[in-house]
A = this chain, B = another copy of it.
Amino acid sequence: MELRRWPRRNDAESIRARQQALDVDGEVFGHDLTPWAAAQEALTGVAVIPVSVIGPLTVELGEYELREPAGELRESGRSREEIFVPLAHTEGGLSISLYRGARAASESGGFRTYVLHDRITRASCFVCGSTAEAVALARWLEGHAGEMRSFLTEHRDPSISSFAKLREVESHVIGPMCHVLWKWTTGDACGPNMITRNAYALNMGFVMERAPVKPRRAILEANMGGDKKPSFQYFRSGHGKTVLAECTLTEDAVRRVLRTTVDDLLELAWAGTHGAVASGMQSVAFTPASAVAAIFAATGQDLGMVGTSSMAHGTGHGVPGGIHCAIRFPGLEVGTVGGGTTLPYARTWLELIGCAGSGKVYRFAQIVAAAALALEISASAAMATAGSESFFRAHHERGGLR
C-alpha cells in the first residue's frame, strides 16, 4: 500500500476503500459504521466485546450539586438503590467474583458512596528567561484568577467552552519554568477537550498578552496536569471525581458468602498494604482496574484513562462483629455526556444504570466505585483464606481461557 494514499476520511467510499485494502475476515466490517462516523478518523470496522450484567448492587448513593461560585460539592440527599452494572471484558471469573462481593455487601446492609471533590486539571508551562521572571509570573497568575474567569466567560470565541469553568489557579516554579495548574469543573462531561481549548485560550489570549513578564514560550500541557498518566499529585488531590465507597461486612456474610473469616481478611489487608509499599505501588488495592475497565468499556468512557481512574486507596479495618471495607478513588475521569457516551451501545448501557445524559455524572462515578469495591472484597476473600484455595479454584474452574 502507498503511504500517501491511505484515506482518512469517513465518507462511505473512504471507509470501503480501507476495508477493501485490508485482507481480513469481513466480520469486523459487518456493522453499519454511520453512527460512529464523527467519533474518530479513518473509521474502518468495529470491535465487539461481550458484556455481562451483574446485580443487584445495593448502594446508598449521595446526590450532589456544585455550589457556585466556588465550585465545592454539596450533598443534597441520599437514597438507596439496587443497581445492575454492565461489565465489558473477557476475563473469566471477574463477573462472578464481583457478584459475590456485591452479595456479601447486600447481606451486610449494602454499600455507601460519597463524592468529595470534583476538579480536572490542565497544566501549562511558561518558560521564562530566569527564575526571577518565573517567580514574578507565578505571583501575577495566582493574583489574577478572577480576571481569567471573566475573560473566559466574556469571550466570544466559539472554541471556548462555557461548560469548563476555571476554579483555581496554582503555580509551581522549577528553574525558569512557571508551570501552572488550571483547575476546572466540566459539568457532566469528562471534559479533556474543553479544558484543553479553554487553557489554550487563557495561555494565548490572556497570559501571553497581559503578563507583566512576557514568557519566552507557552506549552499547553507539560505533564503536571495528570492526563492519562498516574501520578502522586492526583492520587493525592484528585483528577476528575474523588469518590469513596464503603461497607461493613458482617462476620456472617464473610463466612457464608465469601467463605473466609474476618481475621483472614485483615491479615491479607495488612500483608497486601506492605507488599504495595515494598513494590513502589502508588495505589493500595488488589484489582480496581478490572472493574473500572469493564464499566468504562461498556459505557463509552475513555479507555486511555483506565490507569489514572484506577488509582485507589483501599482499607480494611476490624470492627465489632465484622470488617469495614472501603476504597478511595481520587480521580474517576468519567462523563455521562460527550465523548463516547452518546454513541450506540454505550448510551444504552448508561441508561441501564440510570446514568445517560445530564445531571448523572456523580451518580455514575459512585456506581463505578461501589462496583469496584464489590470486586475488591471478593478478590480479597479469594486470596485471604488459608492457602488461598478458593482464589485458586475460582481461577482454575473459570479462567480456562487464559
Would you list which residues of chain A between 106 and 137 have a CB under 8 Å from chain B?
Answer: 106, 112, 114, 116, 123, 125, 127, 129-132, 135
> Does A206 count as interface, using CB distance less than 8 angstroms?
no
Please pick, from B129, B135, B224, B296, the residue contacting A244 in the complex, using a CB distance under 8 A: B135
Given contacts A51-B28, A220-B392, contact A306 B280 (CB under 8 A): no
Counting CB contacts under 8 A, is A145 at the interface?
no
Contact of A277 among B8, B22, B273 (CB under 8 A): B273
On whether the beta carbons of B174 and A328 are closer than 8 Å, the reply is yes
Report if A232-B228 is in contact (Cβ < 8 Å); known contacts: A95-B42, A284-B274, A338-B402.
no
Can you list 7 A-B contacts (CB < 8 A)?
A: A18-B53, A33-B50, A90-B340, A125-B271, A175-B315, A270-B270, A304-B310
A55 contacts which chain B residues (CB < 8 A)? 1, 6
State the Cβ distance, A324 to closest chain B Cβ, in Å: 6
Decide if A278 is an interface residue (CB 8 Å cutoff).
Answer: yes
Cβ A203 vs Cβ B388 within 8 A: yes
Most B C-beta atoms less than 10 A away, residue of A41, A50, A116, A245: A50
A308 at the interface (CB under 8 A from B): yes
Q: Mark A40-78, 1 if CB is under 8 A from B, else 0.
A: 111111111111111110000000000000000000000
Inter-chain contact B293/A303, CB cutoff 8 Å: yes
Q: Given A218-B387, A232-B236, A293-B303, 10 other A-B contacts at CB below 8 A?
A: A24-B352, A40-B50, A43-B51, A44-B86, A45-B50, A89-B304, A131-B324, A172-B236, A223-B271, A287-B304
Tell me if A233 and B280 are in contact (CB < 8 A).
yes
Please tell me which stretch of A148-156, A192-200, A359-367 contacts chain B, meaning at least 4 of its Cβ atoms lie within 8 angstroms of it: A192-200
Contact between chains at B324 and A130 (CB < 8 Å): yes
Q: Which residues of B contact A271 (CB under 8 A)?
A: 125, 127, 177, 219, 222-223
Assembled-state Cα–Cα distance A174/B347 (Å): 33
Query: Do B90 and A274 touch across chains, with their CB atoms under 8 A apart?
Result: no
Q: Are B344 and A172 in contact (CB under 8 A)?
A: no
Residue of B nearest to A242 (CB): B173
CB distance from A326 to the nearest CB of B (A): 4
A286 at interface by CB-CB < 8 Å:
yes
Q: Mark A196-215, 1 if CB is under 8 A from B, else 0.
A: 11001001100010000000
Which residues of chain B are within 8 angstroms of A278 by Cβ–Cβ distance? 172, 174, 179, 224, 233, 236, 313
Question: Would you give the shortest CB distance from A204 to chain B, in whole angstroms?
Answer: 5
In the complex, the chain B residue whose C-beta lies closest to that of A131 is: B246
- Beta-carbon nearest neighbor of A292 in chain B: B304
